[in-house]
Amino acid sequence: MTQETEKPLLSVRGLALDIPLASGMLHAVRGIDFDLHRGETLCIVGESGSGKSLTSLAIMGLLDKNIRRSAERMDFNGIELTKASNRQMRTLRGDRIAMIFQEPMTSLNPAYTIGDQLIEALRLHRKVSHQVARARAIELLEKVGITAAESRLSQYPHQLSGGLRQRVVIAMALMCEPELIIADEPTTALDVTIQAQILSLLVELTREMNVAMILITHDLGVVARVADKVGVMYAGELVETGPASDVFGQPMHPYTRGLLRCIPQPGKTERGKPLGTIPGIVPSLVGEVSGCAFRTRCLHATDTCREAIPERGEAPHEFLCIYPDGALNAEGELA
């Protein structure tokens, strides 16, 4: 899928998000760089609070008013999002960039029917008649695998199960044939059996329609299955980015390696031996943040890690660690 020569659909450089708190400035997200090409799936992984959702909302321009956004560049297909007016952002949202949220139980308006909400999504951006929009809604409901699509239109969200609702949300995101879909943990709130179905559906549809997707998740199993590119987020930074095969095959950042050790792998993980854990807790990002944010939990950290960490590695596989080799060796000893 990756077409490195082509101009990326979305190119982000130096995205930072600051939240003023009573106790000081919270530097929630720092120095985010990534490129996403048409039809590509980028998975952003990281634990809760690492800034994944904030990053996605920042691209959508849907951050709370108190959050300060700054970026060198946020180029979406030639449109500079950092300079776009509210009006411009509104015409992009739902039309060319769509978003799928985590909670299907609450992300649909309880007061309106499924049909109302699907039709609204199209008619906000296209001058089409109610009938045309309705036909499109039925078409998409069928596409996301909902049976008796026509009768579903007059139902209210509370009458559908969580899995069905998330299918509706996906259909809604696809109404205007967007170029980019941002899916923020779209399956986390669902039953395990439903999770797989919804995820396959999402991946299938984005491939079929050649839609680029940013999939935010904390589930590495999901990432391994669907990602073209992976971005690992820790404490507000993308500590490692690269093609999925590289990141999984040759993880360079100690955090990525730690994460990978936390999931059992058939054949590799020994029975009876505890799974890996990463000791410690995420540091506070209030006030001055310098050096490697992972150093408080890293076994290989030294005083040098308190200083600014330059980006290492060669594009497309980059990471933020000055001791990838040392860490690698140390780990070798451990293993």
CB of 93 or CB of 317, closer to other proteins: 93
CB of 107 to other proteins, least distance (A): 4
- C-alpha angle with apex 43: 41 to 44, nearest 5 degrees? 145
Report the largest interatomic distance among the alpha carbons of the chain, rounded to a whole angstrom. 67
Tokens of 283: 């540091």
**C-alpha to C-alpha distance for 191 and 188, rounded to whole angstroms:** 8
CB of 329 to other proteins, least distance (A): 18
Which of 93, 167, 229, 253 touches other proteins (CB under 8 A)? 93
CB of 174 or CB of 247, closer to other proteins: 174
Which residues ranging from 135 to 154 are in contact with other proteins (CB under 8 A)? Answer: none
**C-alpha to C-alpha distance for 117 and 94, rounded to whole angstroms:** 12
CA atoms in the 13 A half-sphere facing the CB of 19: 16
Which of 144, 160, 238, 305 touches other proteins (CB under 8 A)? 305
Q: How many residues bind other proteins (CB under 8 A)?
A: 39
CB of 3 or CB of 91, closer to other proteins: 91
Please tell me whether residue 111 binds other proteins under the rule CB under 8 A.
yes
* Residues 251, 257 contacting (CB under 8 angstroms): yes
CB of 1 or CB of 299, closer to other proteins: 299
* Residues 242, 318 contacting (CB under 8 angstroms): yes
Task: Mark 94-114 as b/e (b = at least 16 C-beta within 10 Å).
Answer: bbbbbbbbbbbbebbeeeebb
Amino acid at 246: D
Which among 194, 193, 225, 265 is positioned nearest to 43, based on CA atoms? Answer: 225
Interface region with other proteins, contact rule CB under 8 A, candidates 8-16, 139-147, 156-164, 313-321 = 156-164
Amino acid at 183: A
Amino acid at 197: Q
CB of 51 or CB of 94, closer to other proteins: 94
Which among 147, 185, 181, 176 is positioned nearest to 164, based on CA atoms? Answer: 147
Residue window 214-243: x/- pattern of binding to other proteins, with contact defined by CB under 8 A: ------------------------------
- DSSP code per residue over 39-87: T-EEEEE--TTSSHHHHHHHHHT---TT-EEE-SEEEETTEETTT--HH
CB of 99 or CB of 216, closer to other proteins: 99
* Residues 330, 298 contacting (CB under 8 angstroms): no
Residue window 272-291: x/- pattern of binding to other proteins, with contact defined by CB under 8 A: ---------x-xx-------
Which of 10, 98, 220, 232 touches other proteins (CB under 8 A)? 98
CB of 111 or CB of 308, closer to other proteins: 111
Please tell me whether residue 159 binds other proteins under the rule CB under 8 A.
yes
CB of 203 or CB of 286, closer to other proteins: 286
Which of 124, 128, 146, 224 touches other proteins (CB under 8 A)? 124
Q: Using the 8-state DSSP alphabet, how is residue 314 labeled? A: E
Please tell me whether residue 101 binds other proteins under the rule CB under 8 A.
yes
Provide the binding-site residues for other proteins, judged by CB under 8 A.
60, 62, 90-95, 98-99, 101, 103, 106-113, 120-121, 124-125, 156, 158-159, 169, 172, 281, 283-284, 295-296, 301-303, 305-306
